Structures are given as C-alpha cells and as structure tokens.
Structure 1
Amino acid sequence: MAHDVSVIGLYILDVLGRPVSKIPERGNVDFIEEIRLTVAGTAGGTVVDTAKLGLKSLAVGAVGNDEKADWVLATLAKHGIDVSAMQRLDGVPTSATILNIRPNGERPALHVRGASDHFDLLPAFYDQVFAAPIVHLGGTGLLKKLDGEPSRRLLEEAKKRGCTTTFDLIAATAETKAIVEPMLPFIDYFMPSIEEAQDMSGQSGPADCAAYYLDRGAACCIFTLGGDGAFYAHKDGIRLQVPAYEIDIVDTTGCGDAFDAGFICALHHKMDPEEGLRFAQAAAGLVATGLGSDAGIVSFDDTRATMDRWSVKPGT
C-alpha cells in the first residue's frame, strides 16, 4: 500500500468525560453528560484526523499487549489506517490518559506513560516508513527511548530519502530545548503551540520565537496561538498570521493534533501557505466543537466547506 503520510510517535488511549466542574468528595458519585474513548496523542490524534481527511496514513508507534491496545489498534484500522508498523510491547501498559473536561473546555489530565516510553523506530522499518512523501514526528517530550539522538537520526534519514518532515511535541519545557535543537535542521515544518515555543526558546511572541528556531535550522515555523489563530514564518521570508474562527468550544483536547493533520493534508493538496493555515484552523476548530481528539472532522470536503463558511473571531 502506498501511503501519503507516516505518523510516528505518541499513541494514547484517552478516556474523556464532560462537563466536570468538580471531583466528588470521598466515594460519592456525580453525573455528567458524556464519556468517550478515543485514540489520541501527538501521533495518534494526528493520524486519525489525516485518515478522516482522506490521506492514506501509516501509524508508527507502540502500544502494550493489553485490552487498551486491542481497542486502539482496532479503532485505527476502522479508520482505514495501516497499523502494520505499530509495535505491541510485552510487560508495559498502553499509554493512556483520563481527562476531566471542564465546562469552559479546559482539560486537566491524569496520564500513564506506558508503551510510548519504550518505543523506538528500528532500521528494519525505515523502507516502509520513509516511503511516504510526508513524515510527521509527534510527541517529543513523552517518548523517552526515542527522544534525543534517535529522533534526530530518523528525521535526518527521512530528509535523505526526500521526505517532507513535520514536527510537533508535548509537555515542552526549557529542558526540552536540548532535545529539539539538534533536530531543527531536519524539520521542514516545526509546529508547536506558541506557549511551547516560548518555554523552550525563552523568547516572547511568535516573531521572536520564529527567528530563534529559523536561526537554528528549521525551514518553517508554524505556531498555534489558541484564540488568536496561527502564525507562519518561513526561511524564505514569508510571514503570515491567520485569525481563529468564531466557534462554541466544547473541548480543546486534540486541537493541536487536528491542526497538524489539517496542515499535512494541505501540503498533500499543495495549498498555498495562507490557504493551508486556514484549512488547518478549520480542522482544529471542528475538533473543538465535540468531545475528544477525533470529534468534528468528517471529511476533506466537509472541512473545506467549513473553512469557507465559518466567520473569523473579531479582533484576531
């Protein structure tokens, strides 16, 4: 099977409930409207959304050998995603998160790190994984075995083989900078949130952050700005900022992953940068209108129509 994109990194089972305004005291019970299970993570959420947007997608990561892994792999396959590069690891649980979604969409989380800490992309997988024209690495910061030099090597190999590389991370701190900086010369599209970009660089604002990462080798920086939209800075000098859409937010889980998937889809369809950013914003906005990282997105055509139909937030 020829793939459009290989999505490498963090695969998680999310258990989400909403709306949760407080945790009951002692052993008491409270009642909420909705509980869902989703495949999530900076790779898992992204690969589901690329598949829903019509791309032939290869999932590349690790799960445990438990009931959670059965559900994750079956759900990926249900979306038409190739799971032949997913590893099942004995002796560790599948990475999983419990999220209590607040009425305003915030999402305090409890996480079991599990199998993703033990995942490594072995050279035996290189021919399969790097046959796709686009390679996304998502989850740096929670990929204990893959973080650092192994990630730098795989991105370098992807570039040697002519792939376009996209990158996102999670749980970024000032210490994450030492992991990320050696990878930058092999990243075509560096796509953290502005908060992550600032925390790692020590800079303030998207323009200064972009200058920092471009100076260290990234070809293009794309920062998600939450309610202020998204910022794009390319080494060729192009600078763009697109506004956020006016939507009613239910849950922000997976919005960054959906943005990544939307922009990867835009690259596949050879959209220009501004159109690509607007399409990625629409994908992220759709996910925010429902519960979980796979909510909202139906198809490429529906997302494109949503992009044209939605109004932007005033003042952004």
Structure 2
Amino acid sequence: MLDCLCTGILVADHLCTPIPRFPNAGELILAEGLPLTIGGCAANAAVDLARLGVRVGVVGCVGADPFGQFIVDSLRGHGIETEGIRTLEGVGTSGTLIINVQGQDRRFIHALGANGRFRVSDIPIEQALAAKVLYVGGYLLMSNFEQDALLDLFRACRGKRVKTVLDVVLPGPGDHWKRLERVLAETDVFLPNVDEAAAITGLADPLRQAERFVAAGAKAAVITCGEQGTVLVSQDLRVHAGVYPVSFVGGTGAGDAFDAGYIAGLLAGEDAIGCLKWGSALGASCVRAISATESVFSRDEAIRFMQSHELPLERL
C-alpha cells in the first residue's frame, strides 16, 4: 500500500543556469549549462517524498518520446511506482523552458503536451482509496481534468479517510474560481502560492486569500509567499510562518518541495504547525540548487535541520 499517490502534471524541465541579463532580440548570451531534469508538481513532489522514505506512486501522462521515457526512468530510479503513468501517441511530453536571470524571478515557457489529455478517470480509483494521501498537483493547467470527476474522487477518498491535498498551476487569465470552488469543499489541504491565489480570488493579502478558500470549504489553506514565508488558515488557526535561513540559488520546485514536506507531516501525524515546519524545511532545502529536486533533504537531514533551526511563527 502506498503512503501517497501523486497525480497531475509531469514535465521535462529544460533549465537555463543563471545568466546576467535577458538577451535582446537576435542576441546570444552564454549560460553555464542547460540541463534536462524532471519537473511538474506530481513528479517533483513524488521524488521529494521518496527522498524522505515515503512509499509513493505517480499517475499522469507523458508522450511516446525520449522526454517521456526520461521522466519515467528518473522516477523509477528513485524507487517510485510508475505503473499509473500512461504513454500517449500523437502528443509530445509536456516541457518547460525555465530561464533564470540573476536577481530576478524565473521566467517560464511551457508546452502543455500530454498533460492536456490527462483525465481524472486515468487515476486508478482502487489505488487512490488505498493510499493515505492523494495529492493532485497542477490542477487548472490540465484542460481535460474535469471538476465534477475530481469532486467525486475527493469525496470518495475522504469517505475512506484518505487525505486530499490540492495544488494548482494557472495557464493564464481566466475564471479559475469557477473550476475550483466546488472542489475545495472536499479538499483537506489547498496549497497555492500567493500569485496563484491572487489570480483566483482577486485578493492581494495572503491572509484574506486563505480565508476565502477556507470559507469555500477547504479544511486548511496554506499560501506560500516565497521569501515572505507562508500563511496558514483553518477553522481554528491563523498563523504566519517565516522562512528557514539558507543560501538561495534557485526557486524551481520550491513549492512542490513545500507540498511534499507538508504531506510528510500529515503522514507523521503532525498538527498544522508541525506540517508547516516540514513544508518550510523541504522548501528551504530545495532553493539551495537550481533544479527542482537536487538539493531536497532526506528524512534524517530534515529532522536535524528542524532541530537546529527555529521557524519564526506568528499567530494572526
């Protein structure tokens, strides 16, 4: 039996190592490297959980191409169950070009590819109901991932005491609230970042954003705010957490690492504050390298780090 089933977007990340500035039209700028790594919420979170010793499986879609095989092989190399990954003909594996300019936030160019064909019905219901946590990452980006079907799946999972954890990726402007609102009523933990939450709610304040999601039915909403930390709201708790001190190299995968850490806290029976500490520790470990999973803590490393560092907490 799996501890966590990670479902959602699977991506081949093409990373540009930090460059001094964005090139002008027609200009060539040299980068130190352009590594290919696995990416996407479901893949990143699964790898991070596997590093913690969690029994994890992945469900999603890739294309019948070298990039899709690279993703599957990479996940298997981490001991992750991949039988739920479908390889589709006639469509490429999803890919993201990540451009890192020194002193600036990342820029993304994305090809939706096979993720656009992933449907809720592709998730084996028996496997989802047998897990302890069901994680859906990249909702709203997956154009064929139906709200009604996801609502039914989450409701069935909660009926079996499977925790439901949801994260989103936004494809651009749109009425995202319409696709999200009813799903929140069956969501145990909702984990957007502050920019995504602002686009969904029209609210700039992360506390108000989180309150809006909880009012819609989410049991807990956690807004990740980069170097400003996180804001968590549940029915009986409002708290702002700062960040652990680390040397920042790149932010790719930090949100997914936070998700994995929070899930690890849930699996360990931690309360909300304990889950925040786990999420914050894994997110902090992630930003020490340019790729999404390279520097994420093992379980022992995370425990030692949390024991030796205090996470700033403020009740709101």
Would you say same fold, with TM above 0.5? yes
Task: Quote the residue 2:266 is aligned against.
Answer: 267
Task: Quote the residue 1:207 is aligned against.
Answer: 207
Task: Quote the residue 1:64 is aligned against.
Answer: 63
Task: Quote the residue 2:228 is aligned against.
Answer: 228
CA, structure 1 residues 273+313, in 2 after alignment: closer, same or farther (shift >3 Å)? closer
Percentage of pairs with the same residue: 26
Task: Quote the residue 2:278 is aligned against.
Answer: 279
Does the CA contact (< 8 Å) of 1:173 and 1:196 recur in 2? no
Q: What is the count of residue pairs matched by the alignment?
A: 314
Question: How many Å separate the matches in 2 of 1:208 and 1:124?
Answer: 33
Task: Quote the residue 1:182 is aligned against.
Answer: 182
Question: How many Å separate the matches in 1 of 2:147 and 2:201?
Answer: 17
User: What's the Cα RMSD here?
Assistant: 2.2
Task: Quote the residue 2:97 is aligned against.
Answer: 98
CA, structure 1 residues 119+179, in 2 after alignment: closer, same or farther (shift >3 Å)? same
Deviates more, 1:182-191 or 1:168-177: 168-177
Amino acid aligned to 2:58: A
Task: Quote the residue 1:115 is aligned against.
Answer: 114
Task: Quote the residue 1:137 is aligned against.
Answer: 136
Does the CA contact (< 8 Å) of 1:140 and 1:147 recur in 2? no
SS state of the match for residue 166, structure 1? strand
Question: How many Å separate the matches in 2 of 1:213 and 1:314?
Answer: 21
SS state of the match for residue 247, structure 1? coil
Does the CA contact (< 8 Å) of 1:186 and 1:217 recur in 2? yes
Does the CA contact (< 8 Å) of 2:51 and 2:299 recur in 1? yes
Question: How many Å separate the matches in 2 of 1:306 and 1:101?
Answer: 27
Task: Quote the residue 2:9 is aligned against.
Answer: 10
Deviates more, 1:188-197 or 1:147-156: 147-156
CA, structure 1 residues 87+309, in 2 after alignment: closer, same or farther (shift >3 Å)? same
Does the CA contact (< 8 Å) of 1:105 and 1:251 recur in 2? no
1:191-211 alpha-carbon deviations (Å, 9 max, x no partner): 111222222112332322222
Deviation at 1:26, TM superposition (A): 6.8
Does the CA contact (< 8 Å) of 2:136 and 2:165 recur in 1? yes
Question: How many Å separate the matches in 2 of 1:33 and 1:73?
Answer: 27
Question: How many Å separate the matches in 1 of 2:167 and 2:112?
Answer: 18
Deviation at 1:275, TM superposition (A): 2.2
Between Structure 1 and Structure 2, which shows a larger proportion of strand residues? Answer: 2
Amino acid aligned to 1:210: A
SS state of the match for residue 246, structure 2? coil
Question: How many Å separate the matches in 2 of 1:313 and 1:185?
Answer: 30
1:57-78 alpha-carbon deviations (Å, 9 max, x no partner): 0101110111101100000000
Task: Quote the residue 1:301 is aligned against.
Answer: 300
Unaligned runs of 5+ in 2: none
Question: How many Å separate the matches in 1 of 2:138 and 2:123?
Answer: 21
Question: How many Å separate the matches in 1 of 2:25 and 2:222?
Answer: 45
Unaligned runs of 5+ in 1: none
SS state of the match for residue 157, structure 2? helix
Task: Quote the residue 1:76 is aligned against.
Answer: 75
Matched, 1:196 2:196: yes
Does the CA contact (< 8 Å) of 2:189 and 2:218 recur in 1? yes
Deviates more, 1:51-60 or 1:97-106: 97-106
Deviates more, 1:141-150 or 1:84-93: 141-150
Question: How many Å separate the matches in 2 of 1:314 and 1:35?
Answer: 38
SS state of the match for residue 82, structure 2? coil
Deviation at 1:27, TM superposition (A): 6.6
Does the CA contact (< 8 Å) of 1:13 and 1:95 recur in 2? yes
Q: With structure 2 as the length reference, what TM-score do the two structures score? A: 0.92
Deviation at 1:247, TM superposition (A): 2.2
Task: Quote the residue 2:249 is aligned against.
Answer: 250
Deviation at 1:314, TM superposition (A): 12
CA, structure 1 residues 296+105, in 2 after alignment: closer, same or farther (shift >3 Å)? farther
Does the CA contact (< 8 Å) of 2:52 and 2:297 recur in 1? yes
